[in-house]
Amino acid sequence: MKTSASPRFPSFFTVAFFLLFSSSFSETRNFLPRGSSLSVEDDSDILTSLDQTFTCGFYGMGDNACWFSIWFTNSKERTVVWMANRDRPVNGQGSRISLRPDGAMVLTDVDDSTIWETNTTSTDVSRAELLDTGNLVLKDTRGKILWQSFDFPTDTLLPNQFFTKSTKLISRLGRGMYSSGYFNFFFDNNNVLTLMYDGPDISSIYWPDPDFGVFGSHRTNYNSSRVAVFDEMGNFLSSDEFQFSASDMGFGIIRRLTMDYDGNLRLYSLNNETGLWVTTWEAMLEQCKVHGICGRNAICVYTPKPKCSCPPGYEVTEPGNWHKGCKPKFNQTCSQELTFVQVGQVDFYGFDLNYTQSISRDTCSKFCLEDCRCVAFSYRLSGDGRCYIKSALFNGYKSPNFPGSIYLKVPASVGRYESAILSGTNPICGSNDSTIMMGLPSMYDTISKKVKWVYLYWFVSAIGVIEILIASAGWLLFGRHGVPDSVEEGYCAITSQFRKFRYAELKKATMNFKEVLGRGGSGAVYKGVLADERVVAVKRLEGISYQGEDVFWAEVSTIGQIYHMNLVRMWGFCAEASHRLLVYEYMEHQSLDKHLFSRSSLGWKERFKVALGTAKGLAYLHHECLEWVIHCDVKPENILLHTEFEPKISDFGLAKLSNRGGSNSELSRIRGTKGYMAPEWALNLPITAKVDVYSYGVVILEIVKGIRLSNLIIEDGEAQESELTRFVRVVKPKINCKEESWIEEIVDQRLNGEYSRRQVMKIVEVAICCVEEDRDQRPTMDSVVEALLECEDESKIHSPYAQ
């Protein structure tokens, strides 16, 4: 007899009947009555929530390690939400979880010892029930909840589960490990939501960003209620005013917020078709800024995935275990001749003996030499020269945004280091899956699957928007920039100043949309000055039917999270009634085309800087940033020049703002800008990041030649070919034979021979690979950046500081 086959009986009694008298009953059930138990040996001894989303039972790894857990029923790989005994696994034989007659739920091991129990002894608990929310509750006869698993989270928070002053998320130790690890998410004593590394050697707070502090990170410590929660839509709100929305905000999606073992806090959505998790928000956009991941003396680098690496003069302490970091290959004593090795774009956080501003690098190095405790100094070029003397090296990371270097103190006898370039040839973190830290494979597997999904999504949503991009390209920006360079360019560029503006505010800032900077299909761009005196460019989107305000907010806030010194920064947006506006940072100089194709032109140094900076910006969009953005319309008009001709890419991410719908018939209309478009646009192939690589290749060839390659058609008798095709046909074989005579012919005559031959060679080589017809032959933007960096500044690379 089956429950469903007895409609005349109330199903509750039927189920209860079976539970009491038949322990091998295999129908799913969502509760356990008082006096009964679940056994570890029987796989069918589980509870399943009524809507089937969650399952509760024993989760085992091998014979001797089982945990009483709750997991998602439908994810491809079992994803555990909660564990009763994460640090004390029980035996795979003879262990049980029982709801004892005295009211307590008790987990016992094979020897009957109590491993875990609830605080409900001597209460009238009548049953344990797994709710649809993923909450396991103990209820009394009247249905009152006496205990709930939601009060004792492990590393995961679910929708509508309150995060309070008495709860904490603690990461797992590593991949395939369930015991408590080192990364903590909690409300600190100042009422602020915090991420902290709490390891055996050190503990250190890394979020909110310690460089900005509580208020600089737009938090408050005034509200002592200390409560945070996220709803079914994917909106997270905390009493310290921290809030965010999932990038796929909306109902009907299964989500979890997890303190991951790599130190990042992430919100995930379950793709109900593939059963895989997709990241829809993460706290740390720069993974290497998580503290404690690589251990003492080690440096976290992007290759492009985050990996640990030892600085020059140091070696891995214990191969396979980055917790132990790196150890010096020399004896650290003060009684010898000492020198420094410079490692660029690298900093170590904390352990400052002393911080001094406005001094030269030589003075800074003198401070370090004079102090025996000093092992290195960090020197920031931004502003007026900041000097940090370090007593220990922890939390090392490399960041393209870091405007300085670390200088490691080494004995002069150790030898000199030609150049301290960190690369993926160094030992790789987590190369052994069972190593503890940075064993990122699982996370990255998820993400790489996500990438495909995003690509498809972009493909569809690119329709129409491309046209907008063409029309709006090249908004002209004149005048002075309002933000101090030290703030804008420097280390401190990373702050969450993204916000929502009121329409009235923007109307006032632009003096009722008076000064037009440019106009395009998506609307016009106006110059404005905010109340805080920041000069901004306000783009007023028009003529597109948008989704609701909420969706708009979710999508622009994702773009707002993207920041890199080579990307135009979005400061905020406005969505009021039918108004949709975007607020951008204001660029001092015009777009690249105005400089490149006009009578006065750029010098070689600037051209190289633009080529490299643009590559860095695209590499960031493609590889490092949260959303894996494909630009789809890279061209000189979309490369704006900032002070000192630092390039900033504009108009990325806008495809997100269009309607996502679109029928296949419209796919044929997808267009970038003629001349910069990769062949696959015409071939109707799915669009990948390689379309940007192609366009970039055309742009850097134009930078070398100083003319539009895209427009020209050479008529040679009958045959027609574009300037680009001809160029590749002629130059490619010469490069292959290491011939160099072509250089003089192709370089822009306006440079009067003032350029670096080596850099021209490199750019042309890179460009020719980028414009390969076969997209698989094109390099990634990351490798383009690496190739260009090799010849960025030859003299700098070959003369390490203070030998």
633 classed as catalytic: yes
- Of 367, 379, 407, 620, which one interacts with ligand NAG (CB under 6 A)? 367
Task: Single out the residue of 117, 151, 542, 550 in contact with ligand NAG (rule: CB under 6 A).
Answer: 151
Query: 409 labelled as ligand-binding?
Result: no
Q: Which is nearer to ligand NAG, 15 or 316 (CB)?
A: 316
Q: Which of 4, 24, 331, 741 binds ligand NAG (CB under 6 A)?
A: 331
Pairing of strands 579-585, 535-541: antiparallel
Spatial distance between the Cα atoms of 574 and 582, rounded to a whole number of angstroms: 6
Q: Which of 347, 633, 748, 782 is catalytic?
A: 633
Judged by CB under 6 A, the number of residues near ligand NAG is 23
Residue with Cβ nearer ligand NAG (159 or 518) = 159
The smaller minimum CB distance to ligand NAG, of residues 231 and 371, is found at 371
Cβ neighbors of 716 (< 8 A, separation 6 or more) are none
In the DSSP assignment, the letter for residue 248 is: T
Q: Of 272, 358, 720, 749, which lies in the binding site for ligand NAG, with binding defined by CB under 6 A?
A: 272
CA dist 662 → 251, 273, 461, 471 (Å): 22, 21, 7, 20
Whichever of 16 and 50 has its CB closer to ligand NAG, that residue is: 50
CA 155 vs CA 264, 484, 643: distances in Å: 11, 41, 45
CA-nearest of 201, 198, 190, 129 to 170 is 198
Q: How far is the CB of 795 from ligand NAG (least distance, A)?
A: 31
3-state SS, 612-663, equals HHHHHHHHHHHHHCCCCCCCCCCCHHHEEECHHHCEEECCCCHHHHCCCCCC
Residue type, 549: E
Among 354, 391, 442, 722, binds ligand NAG (CB under 6 A): 354
Q: Least Å distance between CB 248 and ligand NAG?
A: 8
**476 is written with which tokens?**
């002209």
Buried b (16+ CB within 10 A) or exposed e, 617-647: bbbbbbbbbbbbbbbbbbbbbbbbbbeebbb
Write out the binding residues for ligand NAG, residues 208-247 only, by CB under 6 A: 223, 225, 227, 239
- Name the residue with tokens 């680009």: 724
Interface residues for ligand NAG in 368-407 (CB under 6 A)? 370-371
Distance CA 253, CA 581 (A): 29
**Inter-CA distances, 319 with 313, 323, 427, 432, Å:** 16, 10, 8, 10
**Residue 183: C-alpha distances to residues 130, 257, 263, 276 (Å):** 28, 14, 5, 24
Give the number of other CB atoms < 10 A from CB of residue 22: 10
702: Cα within 13 Å, side-chain hemisphere: 28
Residue 184 found at the interface with ligand NAG (CB under 6 A): no
Pattern 109-128, ligand NAG, x by CB under 6 A: ----------xx--x-----
Which residues in the 663-682 window bind ligand NAG by CB under 6 A?
Answer: none
> Which residue from 253, 470, 536, 562 is in contact with ligand NAG, where contact means CB under 6 A?
253
- Give the integer Cα–Cα distance in Å for 42 and 630: 49
Report the candidate in 335, 416, 405, 414 with the shortest Cα–Cα distance to residue 376. Answer: 405
Tell me whether residue 252 or residue 753 sits nearer to ligand NAG (CB atom).
252
Contact stretch for ligand NAG (CB under 6 A) within 365-373, 446-454, 544-552, 663-671: 365-373
User: What are the strands, taking DSSP E only, across 100-242?
Assistant: 105-108, 114-117, 125-130, 136-140, 145-148, 156-157, 163-164, 169-172, 180-187, 193-198, 203-207, 227-230, 235-238
- Min dist. Cβ of residue 121 to ligand NAG (A): 8
Residue 434 or 777: which CB sits closer to ligand NAG? 434
Site mask for ligand NAG (CB under 6 A), range 410-449, x = bound: ----------------------x-x---------------
Least CB distance to ligand NAG at residue 138 (A) = 9
Binding to ligand NAG by CB under 6 A, coded x per residue (else -) over 309-328, reads -----------x--------
Measured from the CB atom, the residue of 115 and 494 that comes closer to ligand NAG is 115
Shortest separation between residue 52's beta carbon and ligand NAG, angstroms = 11
Q: Could you give phi then psi for residue 32, rounded to 5 degrees?
A: -125, 120
Q: Does 147 bind ligand NAG (CB under 6 A)?
A: yes
**Residue 767 to residue 778: CA distance in whole angstroms:** 9
| Under rule CB under 6 A, residue 330 binds ligand NAG | yes
- Residue 136 interacts with ligand NAG (CB under 6 A): yes or no: no
Where in the sequence numbering do the catalytic residues fall?
Answer: 633
Binding site listing for ATP: 539
Binding site listing: 539
Instruction: Summarize as ranges the residues that interact with ligand NAG (CB under 6 A).
Output: 119-120, 123, 146-147, 151, 223, 225, 227, 239, 252-253, 272, 320, 330-331, 354, 356, 367, 370-371, 432, 434
